Structure 1
């Protein structure tokens, strides 16, 4: 039996003026999926010729423009954001190609680069992060987080849109990875499943401070490792073994691991 008082309260709450309108989830999901397939699975466009490619590129621009208009941005502002975003697509594409090649050169199970484009969850999560990060740079509200959370649901990889990640980034397997909002990651870093790059503790007062670690170039972090704290720096060319717990900085060329101990059982 319905509760009329609750329904009335719900209606009144939803009638109030929110800062931003609620974006249709299908709209942004369709945009990022179409952009991903446009960049990495363009077979149908290639068969139809370059004019088809140009036509679909314009469709993507229009879709993003429509999303910005849903946020009640001014028309001029929406067009400017679309222009800035797509001016950076060539750079995003080139960085993602280096990411894909890094996976291909690293993973013995990878046979061809098309396999990475079509089936690797770590690459898909990285691609959506790089798209979302560009929108975050433009100070677009809500949308960057919606995109990375969509990637999170699809892949199990949770990368905040404001994190800074360098080139040739490799996520192996991916499930359970968490990369916090103020994390900084250098070039040629490899991360396995279950890794957390997080904060030592959560406090709303720390919202504008660096709470998450810095990972320098050519670091490998194995599964289950937890690295916490805004002052924590993992020096370049280091290797962090599985399940390590780190809250202090590590110098370059370090190897950090948990020591296994074997004891014989008694009867």
Structure 2
């Protein structure tokens, strides 16, 4: 058998390519350059104001730095869990002081950027922006003990509602519902303090990490538990009481809105009210600003609800007919 050597194979391929492919040098002068026209068209669109952009002489909040703020506040509110150093009682106050000082400065900087951008965007006179930013940052820091206390109730609700939760450490490290709730409670407080942009950047990060979408404007009480979590949506004007449990895929949303809803219904309650001690199972959808789910009620999986139900009510779908395929012996037809 006559076997060709690798070098002979390579030479043979080169000969085939040389014989079948005629290449030529392409010069810049012979090719249309699309860049100048595209630059001119894009620049015209942005400069004219037809398209949203941030071509302004003021800073804008940094998404990456807002995410850093979330990580900083995790180290503050859950000391020892997310810190790179081992914490002991004797160095706890030093750790908290160091982390809070860093958080205070970074938060004030992002708030300042958000306020300045908002003033410029709406042609408002921006006065004492730096001072206001530090005042707002201080107000949030004043709220941290209260926020941490609420988060402790959320951890308790998780341990009570989920037999698979071994301990609080597991919940803090691993549960997406608690992470989304932590960000919601921070973002909600910033919304109350009238900080633009930053709360929504925070909630978008939570959605990116957990697929749980909680609008910062929503009102949520203590002992809140989201089990599994993916696909949960809580709209801006939703009100949720204490001791409420939601499962994956739950939507607390608005009814179908008209085309001009953005302006006409901006400050109107569009999302439901969920009273205390309610359980809402997977993929249930509850819509409408006038819809109230009464205390201690249970909403079953896949229920579509657009009207109020009283307290102590169970709402379930009728069992669908099932068709079984398989051996007759030991099975059902």
Paired position in structure 2 for 1:46: 87
- 1:112 maps onto 2:150 in alignment: no
- The structure 2 residue matched to 1:241, chosen from 288, 296, 300, is 300
Distance 2:305 2:239 in 1: 16
Alignment of 1:217-236 (within 5 A): 217-236=276-295
Larger RCO (CA within 8 A; separation ≥ 6) = 1
TM superposition shift of 1:2: 4.1
Secondary structure at 1:227 match in 2: strand
1:174 aligns with 2:229: yes
Aligned residues of 1:41 and 1:117 also touching (Cα < 8 A): no
Of structures 1 and 2, the larger Rg is shown by 2
- Provide structure 1 residue ranges, at least 5 long, that are not aligned to the other structure: none
CA distance in 1, matches of 2:213, 2:319: 30
Contact 2:72 2:99 in 1 (8 A): no
* CA–CA separation in structure 2 for the residues paired with 1:106 and 1:119: 16
Determine which of 195, 215, 219 is the counterpart of 1:140. 195
2:140 to 58, 71, 85: 85
Q: Distance in 1 between matches of 2:149 and 2:209?
A: 24
- C-alpha change, 1:15 and 1:57, in structure 2 (3 Å) is closer
Structure 2: distance between partners of 1:264 and 1:69: 62
SS of structure 2 residue aligned to 1:197: strand
Report the CA distance shift for 1:154/1:45 in structure 2 as closer, same or farther (over 3 A): same
Aligned residue-pair number: 266
- What displacement does 1:16 show? 4.4
State the match for 1:4 in structure 2.
36
Aligned counterpart for 2:106 among listed residues 46, 63, 67: 63
Q: Deviations over 1:11-58 (max 9, x none)?
A: 45257448x743221110001111123212425362444213211111
Distance 1:264 1:162, change over 3 A: closer
- Residues 244 and 278 of structure 2 are in contact (CA less than 8 Å); yes or no, is this contact kept in structure 1? yes
Aligned to 1:187: 242
| Separation (CA, whole Å) in 2 of partners of 1:180 and 1:46 | 39
Q: Unpaired runs of 5+ in structure 2?
A: 1-32, 47-52, 117-127, 326-332
2:70 is aligned to 32
C-alpha distance after superposition, 1:117-173 (max 9, x if no partner): 100000000000000000000010011011001100100000000000000000000
The answer as to whether partners of 1:164 and 1:182 remain within 8 angstroms in 2 is yes
